[in-house]
């Protein structure tokens, strides 16, 4: 902070100060927030734990948060984190997509899941009116 004094001989002893913004506390707070977000970001992944297969395919870009359907190794089906059976899945998907028919749908199939279970889910999605389904895989390496 700088301070200048007017020492004129006119008899008035007026002191004027020039103030500047101290950005050090702002930078400290921003760095703490950055560290907090970096630590919590990996914890924000949701869903059922599945062992995804590797793939070198390009990622699909979407404007909306996709609906993720997971198929575990034993064939259990989950919408986000909620377990559903195959028959009620069609009704739920139709209800979700009623407002937005272009809502993206992804399938996360466990590497050890039977091919038939994943195909059953994809067939049910087709019956629910989903014409485009993305498959989630693990990037190589």
Instruction: Check whether 12 has a pLDDT greater than 60.
Output: no
Sign of the dihedral through C-alpha 38, 39, 45, 49: positive
Q: Give per-residue pLDDT as tens, 69-80.
A: 888 888 888 888
Give pLDDT tens digits for 36-71.
Answer: 988 887 766 655 666 666 666 555 555 667 888 888
Architecture of domain 67-135: 2-Layer Sandwich (3.30)
- Whether 77 and 69 have beta carbons less than 8 Å apart is answered as yes
Residue 141's pLDDT is what? 65
Of the pLDDT bands very low, low, confident and very high (cuts 50, 70, 90), residue 1 is: very low
User: Interior CA angle at 45 toward 130 and 37, to 5°?
Assistant: 135
- Phi first, then psi, for residue 31 (nearest 5°) are -65, -40
For residue 27, name the pLDDT band (cuts at 50, 70, 90). very high
The domain locations on the chain are 2-44, 67-135
Which of the four pLDDT bands, split at 50, 70 and 90, describes residue 33? very high
Distance CA 95, CA 37 (A): 34
């Amino acid at each position: 902070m700088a301070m200048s004094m007017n020492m004129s001989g006119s008899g008035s002893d007026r002191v004027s100060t020039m103030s500047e913004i101290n950005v050090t506390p702002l930078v400290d707070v921003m760095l703490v927030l950055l560290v907090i977000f970096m630590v919590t970001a990996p914890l924000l992944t949701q869903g059922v734990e599945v062992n995804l297969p590797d793939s070198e395919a390009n990622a699909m870009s979407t404007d909306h948060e996709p609906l993720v359907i997971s198929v575990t190794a034993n064939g259990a089906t989950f919408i986000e984190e909620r377990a559903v059976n195959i028959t009620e899945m069609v009704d739920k998907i139709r209800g979700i997509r009623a407002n937005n028919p272009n809502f993206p749908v992804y399938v996360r199939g466990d590497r050890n899941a039977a091919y038939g279970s994943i195909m059953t889910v994809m067939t049910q999605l087709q019956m629910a009116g989903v014409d485009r389904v993305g498959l989630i895989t693990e990037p190589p390496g």
